[in-house]
Structures are given as C-alpha cells and as structure tokens.
Amino acid sequence: MIIELKKGESTIGRTEMNQADGYVEDLLNCGHLDGPPFIKAFVVGHRVSDKITPSRSIGENPVRGKVQATHFGQLVRTAEARLFKLREKLQERYDDIPGSELLDKVLGESQQPLLTVQAESADTAQQDNPKGADTRQEEAVCFPKKFIS
C-alpha cells in the first residue's frame, strides 16, 4: 500500500494521480517483489478535482494495482470505522497511566532490526578465508529515493 499525502489546501488533479500511478507501476515492474503483488495507492489531499476519475486500475487481466483519490476527512472516517473505535478502547485501557510513563514504556520495547542481505555465501567466505573468520559483508535494503519523497 502506498499513501501519497499532499500538502494542506491541495486539490488532487491529473498530475497527482499520474504521480501515484507511476509509483505503482515502478513497484510492480521493479523485479524485486515475490509473487504477483497487488498494490493499492491512495492520493490524499484537501479536495478531489471534479475533472478526474477518482479511481484508476492498473493492469489488465489481472488488475495488478489501484490508485484512489481521497480527501483527509474521508481517510480519517474510514480509518476510524475500520479500527472499530480502537482509539477509545486504548484510551480507556491506558487512562490511568500518565503520558510520559506510557511513552517510556512503548519506546523501551525492542524494535525490529534493519533488514540486511548477505553479500556472499558462507561457503565462498570459507574458501577465500581458510582461517574461518567471517568476512561476509551486509548491505541495508531500502527503497529507492523516489519512493520515499
């Protein structure tokens, strides 16, 4: 899923939809995803232009992606409905814990480490280094910069 958030008073038009369409196509055709993925992109702004179709499908037989224009209010209402009032339940559950104490508790929990990929196999490292020292290098896996902007 991709969520493309536009600034403040923005109107979602053809340019914004084409940008998200490009992101979806780039991901679908990058060659780094396992299996046939389905990618859904939301373009979120203050309003949606009347001159565009607010929903686009990408790919034919099968459809491999969808780009949907929406405004901030609709996104918030949909999220609240899908979370089944989770916010209220969490407030009730943690109401007696002060904010700073709750924050310390949450931040004190372990985090998922950065995904790494081995640059060479252990067999190759052993052949190149018979003394047994592990000389494998690790690389961080990340998205290309254009997907993060």
Share of the chain above pLDDT 90, in %: 39
- Give me the pLDDT at residue 82, please: 83
Model confidence at 141, pLDDT cuts 50, 70, 90, reads very low
Give the global pTM: 0.56
Domains of the chain, by residue range, sit at: 2-98, 113-149
Average pLDDT value for residue range 7-25: 94
Q: What residues form DSSP beta bridges with 40?
A: 66
pLDDT of residue 51: 96
Alpha-helix runs per DSSP H in 2-98: 14-28, 72-82, 86-93
Comparing 134 with 15, which gets the higher pLDDT? 15
What is the signed CA dihedral for 15, 17, 18, 19, rounded to 10 degrees?
Answer: 90
